[in-house]
Amino acid sequence: MLIFDETGRAWPLGKEIAAGGEGKVYRLLDSTEYCAKLYHKLPIPALKQDKLRALRSLPASARQSAAIPVSLGFATSGDPAPHSVILPLVKGHDIYELYNPQGRQAHFRGATFEFLVAAAKNVAAAFHSLHEHGIIVGDVNEQNIKVRTDATVSIIDCDSFQFEHAGRLYTSDVGTPLWTPPELQGLSVHGLARTKNHDAFGLAQLVFLLLFAGRYPYAGRPLTNTPLSPEEAIQRHAFAYATAGSAPLLGPPPGAPPFESIPPKLRELFIQAFAAGSAGPVERPGAGAWIEALQDLADNLTLCPGSHFHVHWTGAPSCPWCSVMRAVKVDLFPGIAGRVEENNIGTQENSVLAKRLLDLTLHPLELVEPSTFAVTSFIANRPTQKSQPSFRSAAKQFLVSVATLFTNRPAGESQPSVLSAAMQLLGFSVTKETRGNALTKELEKLEERLFQFSNRSEELNLAHRAQCSPLLQKASDLAARLRDIPAMREEALKQLRVKHMEAAMDKFLERFLIRRIKIPGIGEARLAALLSAGITTAADVREEAVKNVAWFGAATAAKLLEWRRQCEAQFKFDASAPLPDPLRSRINELVRTNLAALVAKGKSIEFEFNQLTAAYSKDFGKLQQEFESAIKERAAVQAELSKKS
CATH number at residue 174: 1.10.510.10
- My answer on whether omega of the bond before 281 falls inside 30° of 0, hence cis, is yes
| Residue 590 domain flag | no
Single out the residue in 547, 578, 609 at which a domain terminates: 578
Does 57 lie in the same domain as 30? yes
Q: How far apart are CA 178 and CA 9, in angstroms?
A: 42
What pLDDT was estimated at residue 257?
Answer: 94
**Per-residue confidence (pLDDT) for residue 550, from 0 to 100:** 63
Same domain, yes or no, for 291 and 324?
A: yes
Find all residues with CB under 8 Å of 332, minimum gap 6, and list them: 101, 213, 321, 324, 325
Percent of the chain whose pLDDT exceeds 70: 84
- Cα distance between residue 255 and residue 278, in whole Å: 28
CATH number for the domain including 535? Answer: 1.10.150
Does the N-terminal peptide bond of residue 69 adopt cis geometry, omega within 30 degrees of 0? Answer: no
Q: Which of 42, 65, 89 is the last residue of a domain?
A: 89
Please list the helix, strand and coil fractions of the chain in percent, rounded to the nearest 5, in that order. 55, 10, 35
- The string of DSSP letters for 442-509 reads HHHHHHHHHHHHHHHHHHHHHHHHHHHHHHHHHHHHHHHHHH-HHHHHHHHHHHHT---HHHHHHHHH
pLDDT grade, residue 581 (50/70/90)?
low
Tell me whether residue 124 is in a domain: yes
Residue pair 176/141 in contact (Cβ under 8 Å)? The answer is: yes
In this structure, of 155-164, 416-425, 434-443, 553-562, the range with the lowest mean pLDDT score is 416-425
Higher pLDDT, 490 or 446: 446
What is the rounded CA–CA span in Å between residue 421 and residue 609?
68
458-495 per-position pLDDT tens digit: 899 899 889 988 988 888 888 888 877 777 777 776 66
Going by pLDDT thresholds of 50, 70 and 90, the confidence category of residue 103 is: confident
Residue 355 lies in a domain: no
Q: What is the mean pLDDT of residues 247-276?
A: 91
Q: Among 54-63, 216-225, 341-350, where is mean pLDDT lowest?
A: 341-350
Structure letter (DSSP) for residue 541: -
Residue 251 counted as domain residue? no
pLDDT band at 282 (very low <50, low <70, confident <90, very high): low
Question: What's the number of domains the chain is made of?
Answer: 4
2-16, 154-168, 448-462: lowest mean pLDDT where? 448-462
Report the distance separating Cα 545 and Cα 563, nearest Å: 15
> Is 539 within a domain?
yes
43, 32 Cβ separation under 8 angstroms = no
Question: For the residues 377-397, what does the mean pLDDT come to?
Answer: 58
Return the amino acid letter for 120.
A
Element (H, E) at 310: strand 307-313
pLDDT band at 388, cuts 50/70/90?
Answer: very low
Strand pairing of 307-313 and 301-304? antiparallel
42 and 29 belong to one structural domain: yes
Least confident of 57-71, 101-115, 140-154, 414-428: 414-428
For residues 58 and 184, membership in a common domain is answered with no
In this model, does residue 515 exceed pLDDT 90? Answer: no
Q: Work out the pLDDT band at 201, boundaries 50, 70, 90.
A: very high
Band (356; pLDDT cuts 50, 70, 90)? confident
Please determine, for residue 362, whether its predicted confidence score (pLDDT) is greater than 90.
no
Contact 153, 146 (CB under 8 A): yes
Q: What is the pLDDT of residue 285?
A: 96
Strand order in the sheet with 93-94: 93-94, 145-147, 153-155
Which of 29, 59, 89 terminates a domain? The answer is 89
pLDDT at 391: 45
133/210 same-domain check: yes
Q: What is the pLDDT of residue 211?
A: 97
The residue that leads in pLDDT, 515 or 20, is 20
Q: For the chain, what is the mean pLDDT?
A: 83
- Residue 359, pLDDT above cutoff 80: yes
The predicted pLDDT at position 390 comes to 45
Mean pLDDT of 171-190: 92
Q: Are residues 190 and 177 in the same domain?
A: yes
Percentage of residues in the chain with pLDDT exceeding 90?
Answer: 37
Supply angle C-alpha 4, 7, 10, rounded to 5: 30
**400-411: pLDDT as tens digits:** 554 554 555 555
> pLDDT category, 431, cuts 50, 70, 90?
low
pLDDT band at 584 (very low <50, low <70, confident <90, very high): low
Residue-wise pLDDT for 55-80, tens only, equals 999 988 889 899 999 999 999 998 99
- Tell me: do 5 and 116 sit in the same domain: no
Question: What pLDDT does residue 397 have?
Answer: 56
Positive or negative CA dihedral for 223, 224, 228, 233? Answer: negative
What is the residue range of 529's domain? 499-578
Is residue 290 one of the residues assigned to a domain?
A: yes
pTM for the whole structure = 0.61
Closest residue by Cα to residue 187 from 200, 204, 175, 205: 175
Judgement on whether residues 202 and 275 belong to the same structural domain of the protein: yes
Instruction: Round to whole Å and give the CA distance between 427 and 415.
Output: 18
The answer on pLDDT for 589 being more than 60 is yes
In a domain, 243, yes or no: no
Query: What CA–CA distance (Å, rounded) separates 203 from 209?
Result: 10
Q: Give whole-number Cα distances, 352 to 79, 316, 323, 347, in Å.
A: 46, 32, 33, 9
Burial class (CB within 10 angstroms; exposed 0-12, middle 13-18, buried 19+) of 333: buried
122/209 same-domain check: yes
- Residue 339: pLDDT band with limits 50, 70, 90: very low
Residue of higher predicted confidence among 595 and 344: 595
What pLDDT sits at residue 281? Answer: 59
Q: Are residues 511 and 630 in the same domain?
A: no
Shortest CA distance to 106 belongs to which of 591, 499, 490?
490
What's the pLDDT score for residue 500? 54
Q: Is 574 found in the same domain as 451? A: no
Q: Using the predicted structure, report yes or no on whether residue 98 has a pLDDT greater than 70.
A: yes
Q: Across residues 278-288, what is the average pLDDT? A: 81
Beta bridge partners of 18: 25
Q: Tell me how far the alpha carbon of residue 87 is from its chain's centroid.
A: 11
Annotate 281-304 with DSSP letters as a single string: SSBPP-HHHHHHHHHHHHTTEEEE
In CATH, what number is assigned to the domain containing residue 48?
A: 3.30.200.20
Please indicate, yes or no, whether residues 154 and 299 belong to a single structural domain of this protein: yes
8 pLDDT band (50/70/90 cuts)?
A: very high
- 345 band by pLDDT with thresholds 50, 70 and 90: low
The answer to whether position 62 is within a domain reads yes
User: 632 pLDDT band (50/70/90 cuts)?
Assistant: confident
Q: Contacts from 511-519 at CB under 8 Å and sequence distance 24+? A: 511/537, 511/538, 512/537, 512/538, 512/539, 512/567, 513/100, 513/102, 513/103, 513/537, 514/538, 514/540, 514/541, 515/96, 515/100, 517/563, 519/559, 519/560, 519/563
